[in-house]
């Protein structure tokens, strides 16, 4: 292919603009992104080579090399991974394929555009090179193709890029950054090394740099021809727990997620038995923007015997735990496992069940912790992810009880943090059911006339205001043998909580109001199933209730809003 000039996709231009203009205060992340691409490319080669060993050519050791040329003011990030064909270079470096990217940029428009932290978390990718470079040249050859099939891609990162076919001996990719004026600080072994160990210490292959040594004659450091690893290059999860510090766990989390807020909790275990695997799972402190997208794949990476297999292996975690991040490394799965196979594998089922239990125990130990600071972490967790946990109540029957214990609500006694267990411990003498009401807002719930009799008698009522609550309640009928009873449904039977006096009053009233009730029934006709006298009101003259077993008024309104 002769040299041709092509134009970037519109979204790429937008992303380039965003990245180069708002990431300046955090510019060193370019190296994290490019090293991570190099490492991904090696993972991809390893994966494709499972079915075609010839792809390794004569270089079976996968590695990333970072070097610089002071005089030419260039940095080169080089890998011997899968490489790019000309077509792939055009597609992958000129358009945005990642589905979430466009959506993400849309959200960043306006006010948020300056939030570098958000962009950093998202992973800005290849284009981050333009934070420090005014031209990037990529030279590459895909593994397994002829040396005459190499490609050179080059661009100043503005409107267009050039591509041409080249001859290239070595497999893999060189990304050559031509530094902008004023970015010479990156032309230093020390500087580059420190960025690599900050962001890329835990990637599972070696990142090499040229050894530097002191030259007494020249009175300065000189770069030798010898390469040395500058990262640990050991998959953290494969190391023994006792050798890993809290700081290492946290820095691994940051490398894994780009989230600079430390995780709330993590768990690291080697599980032995019929299925063998290692899990390193984290609970983030903050919910991602797309938490409510249930189609979003989870945050757990799958490895098989330390070989990376896939990102976001959704089969490894139930949907309601999609916020969990981490790594699962299986000793049993075949290396060529596909997403489809994962869905059916019994080993995967065992891994999912085991990991779910681990996450739940992690949450339980936060929730029940004696230490107030740990307990506060649970409250923080719940604020971010509580509503998602509720999905599990309906989806995960095996763990329903454990999940129910983890839920926290508002009630007529406390604004937040009320658990079912708290509620039960405050139940009145003779009270049999757990009472609740659902509404759109806390204020609406609190002011509901249906609560009057409960307030008068000092009986606590749980106030459910999350959208998912109605759905959850259609799957949860009881807690520790106590029925959940909506105060807005049916004839609230206060049972033995009602004294004789009140019962009698109700009977008398029912008799006295009979003509009124009859007239109301006739007037309302089809629109009301029944009209009856109630003891549940104290101040209000009337209220609407739905029949036991019917859709609640609140749910009916939600469905109507949703156009159903
Ligand atoms: P992401 O890594 O999230 O896919 P990037 O913007 O970092 O997004 O990279 C875009 C694409 O360019 C990658 O998905 C990959 O196909 C290709 N690419 C980037 N760097 C390399 C590399 N060193 N070797 C092979 N392909 C690469
Ligand atoms: Mg990338």
Residue 67 confidence (pLDDT) above 80:
yes
What is the pTM assigned to this prediction?
0.71
Residue 129 banded pLDDT, cuts 50, 70, 90: very high
| Cα-to-centroid distance, 138 and ligand 2 (Å) | 14
> What average pLDDT does range 222-244 have in this prediction?
90
Closest ligand to 94 CA? 1
Question: Can you tell me the distance from the alpha carbon of 208 to that of 227, in angstroms, rounded to the nearest whole number?
Answer: 6
Kindly indicate the confidence band of residue 527, based on its pLDDT and cuts at 50, 70 and 90.
Answer: confident
Look up tokens 């109630």; give the residue.
Answer: 534
Q: What is the mean pLDDT of the chain?
A: 87
- pLDDT at position 109 is 62
125-134, 374-383, 500-509, 524-533, range with the lowest pLDDT: 500-509
At 400-423, the pLDDT tens digits run 999 999 999 999 999 889 999 999
Please give the helix or strand (H or E) that residue 134 lies within, else none.
Answer: strand 133-141
Alpha-carbon distance 4 to 94, whole Å? 13
126 lines ligand 1 (CB under 6 A): yes
Cα–Cα distance for residue pair 396/253, rounded to 1 Å: 27
Q: Which ligand is nearest the CA of 129, by number?
A: 1
Encode pLDDT of 5-28 as tens digits: 999 988 888 888 888 887 777 788
**pLDDT tops 80 at residue 562:** no
Q: Nearest C-alpha to atom 23 of ligand 1 is from which residue?
A: 38
CA distance linking residue 497 with residue 390, whole number of Å = 30
For the chain, the residue count is: 564
Determine the atom of ligand 1 nearest the C-alpha atom of 81. Answer: 24
Residue to mutate, 91, 92, 99, 151, ligand 1, most ligand atoms under 8 Å from C-beta: 92
ipTM score for this prediction = 0.99
Instruction: Give binding residues for ATP as ranges.
Output: 33, 37, 79, 98-100, 121-126, 173, 339
pLDDT for res 393: 95
pLDDT digits (tens, 9 = 90+) for 143-170: 999 999 999 999 999 989 999 999 999 9
Residue 2: phi and psi, rounded to 5, are -75, 165
CA angle 434, 437, 439 (to 5 degrees): 155
548 phi, psi to nearest 5 deg: -50, 130
Ligand 2 (ion): which residues have CB within 5 A?
37, 125
| Nearest CA owner, ligand 1 atom 1 | 125
Lowest average pLDDT, out of 107-121, 169-183, 301-315, goes to: 107-121
Q: How far apart are CA 7 and CA 301, in angstroms?
A: 34
C-alpha R_g of the chain: 31
Ligand 1 neighbour 92 (Cβ under 6 A): yes
Ligand nearest to the CA of 101: 1
Per residue in 21-47, pLDDT (tens digit) is 877 777 888 998 899 899 989 989 988
Query: Helix and strand tally (H, E) in the chain?
Result: 18, 19
DSSP3 helix / strand / coil % (the chain, rounded to 5) = 45, 20, 35
* 38 CA from centroid of ligand 1 (Å): 8
Query: Measured from the CB, is residue 38 less than 6 Å from ligand 1?
Result: yes
Give me ligand 1 centre to Cα 37, in Å.
Answer: 5
Distance CA 139, CA 405 (A): 56
460 lines ligand 1 (CB under 6 A): no
Using alpha carbons, list the distances in angstroms from residue 514 to 517, 518, 526, 533, 537. Answer: 5, 6, 19, 9, 18
User: Tens digit of pLDDT for each residue in 286-339?
Assistant: 887 666 665 555 589 888 887 777 777 778 999 999 999 999 999 888 776 777
Round to the nearest angstrom and report the end-to-end CA distance of the chain: 56
Distance of CA 266 to the CA centre of its chain: 14
Pair type for strands 277-283 and 265-271: antiparallel
Q: How far apart are CA 307 and CA 235, in angstroms?
A: 10
Q: Is residue 84 in contact with ligand 1, taking CB distance under 6 Å?
A: yes
- Output the pLDDT for position 174: 98
Q: Please, is 481 exposed, middle or buried when counting C-beta atoms within 10 Å of its C-beta (0-12, 13-18, 19+)?
A: exposed
Bigger pLDDT: 72 or 17?
Answer: 72
Helix (H) or strand (E) holding 481: none
Residue in the structure block whose two tokens are 């895909």 = 142
Give the per-residue pLDDT at 412. 94
From the alpha carbon of 125, which atom of ligand 1 is closest?
Answer: 7
Does 559 or 156 have the greater pLDDT score?
156
- 33 Cβ closer than 6 Å to some ligand 1 atom: yes
Q: HSE, CB side, 13 Å, CA atoms: give it for residue 73.
A: 12
Q: Which of 11, 40, 42 to mutate to test the pocket of ligand 1 (most atoms within 8 A of CB)?
A: 40
- In ligand 1, the atom with minimum distance to the C-alpha of 172 is 24
For residue 118, give every residue at least 6 positions away whose Cβ sits within 8 Å of its Cβ, in sequence order, or none: 108, 112
Question: Tell me, what's the pLDDT at 356?
Answer: 96
Q: Is residue 35 in contact with ligand 1, taking CB distance under 6 Å?
A: no
* Whether 433 contacts 482, CB under 8 Å: yes
> Which parts of 139-245 fold into alpha helices (H)?
189-199
């Amino acid at each position: 292919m002769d040299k041709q000039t092509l134009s970037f996709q519109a979204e790429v231009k937008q992303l380039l603009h965003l990245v180069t203009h708002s990431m300046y205060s955090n510019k060193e992340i370019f190296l994290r992104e490019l090293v991570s691409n190099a490492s991904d490319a090696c993972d991809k080669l390893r994966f494709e080579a499972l079915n075609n060993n010839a792809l390794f050519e004569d270089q079976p050791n996968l590695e990333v090399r970072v070097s610089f040329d002071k005089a030419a003011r260039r940095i080169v990030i080089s890998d011997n991974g899968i490489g790019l064909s000309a077509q792939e270079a055009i597609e992958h470096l000129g358009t945005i394929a990642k589905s979430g990217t466009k959506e993400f940029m849309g959200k960043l428009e306006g006010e948020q555009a300056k939030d570098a932290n958000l962009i950093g978390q998202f992973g800005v990718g290849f284009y981050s090179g333009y934070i420090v470079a005014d031209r990037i040249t990529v030279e590459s050859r895909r593994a397994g193709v002829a040396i005459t099939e190499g490609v050179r891609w080059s661009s100043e990162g503005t409107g267009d890029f050039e591509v041409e076919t080249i001859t290239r001996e070595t497999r893999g990719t060189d990304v050559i950054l031509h530094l902008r004026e004023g970015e010479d600080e990156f032309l230093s072994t020390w500087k580059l090394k420190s960025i690599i160990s900050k962001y890329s210490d835990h990637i599972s292959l070696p990142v090499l740099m040229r050894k530097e040594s002191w030259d007494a004659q020249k009175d300065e450091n000189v770069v030798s021809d010898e390469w040395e690893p500058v990262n640990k290059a050991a998959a953290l999860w494969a190391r023994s727990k006792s050798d890993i510090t809290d700081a290492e766990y946290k820095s691994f989390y940051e490398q894994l997620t780009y989230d600079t807020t430390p995780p709330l909790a993590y768990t690291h275990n080697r599980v032995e038995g019929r299925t063998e695997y290692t899990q390193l799972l984290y609970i983030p402190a903050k919910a991602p923007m797309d938490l409510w997208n249930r189609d979003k794949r989870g945050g757990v990476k799958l490895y098989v015997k330390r070989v990376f297999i896939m990102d976001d292996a959704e089969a490894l975690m139930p949907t309601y735990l999609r916020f969990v991040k981490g790594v699962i490394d299986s000793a049993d799965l075949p290396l060529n496992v596909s997403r489809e196979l994962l869905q059916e594998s019994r080993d995967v089922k065992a891994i999912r069940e085991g990991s779910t239990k681990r996450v739940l125990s992690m949450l339980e130990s936060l929730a029940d912790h004696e230490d107030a600071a740990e307990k506060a972490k649970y409250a923080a967790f719940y604020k971010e992810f509580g509503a998602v946990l509720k999905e599990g109540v309906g989806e995960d029957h095996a763990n329903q009880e454990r999940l129910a214990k983890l839920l926290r609500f508002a009630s007529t006694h406390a604004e937040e943090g009320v658990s079912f267990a708290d509620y039960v411990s405050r139940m009145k003498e003779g009270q049999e059911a757990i009472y609740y009401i659902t509404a759109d807002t806390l204020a609406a719930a609190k002011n509901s006339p249906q609560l009057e009799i409960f307030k008068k008698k000092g009986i606590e009522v749980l106030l459910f205001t999350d959208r998912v609550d109605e759905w959850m309640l259609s799957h949860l009928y009881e807690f520790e043998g106590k029925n959940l009873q909506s105060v807005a449904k049916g004839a609230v039977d206060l049972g033995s909580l009602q004294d004789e006096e009140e019962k009698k009053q109700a009977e008398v009233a029912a008799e006295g109001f009979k003509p009124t009730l009859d007239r109301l029934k006739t007037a309302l006709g089809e629109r009301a199933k029944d009209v009856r006298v109630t003891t549940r009101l104290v101040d209000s003259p009337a209220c609407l209730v739905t029949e036991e077993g019917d859709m609640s008024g609140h749910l009916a309104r939600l469905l109507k809003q949703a156009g159903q």
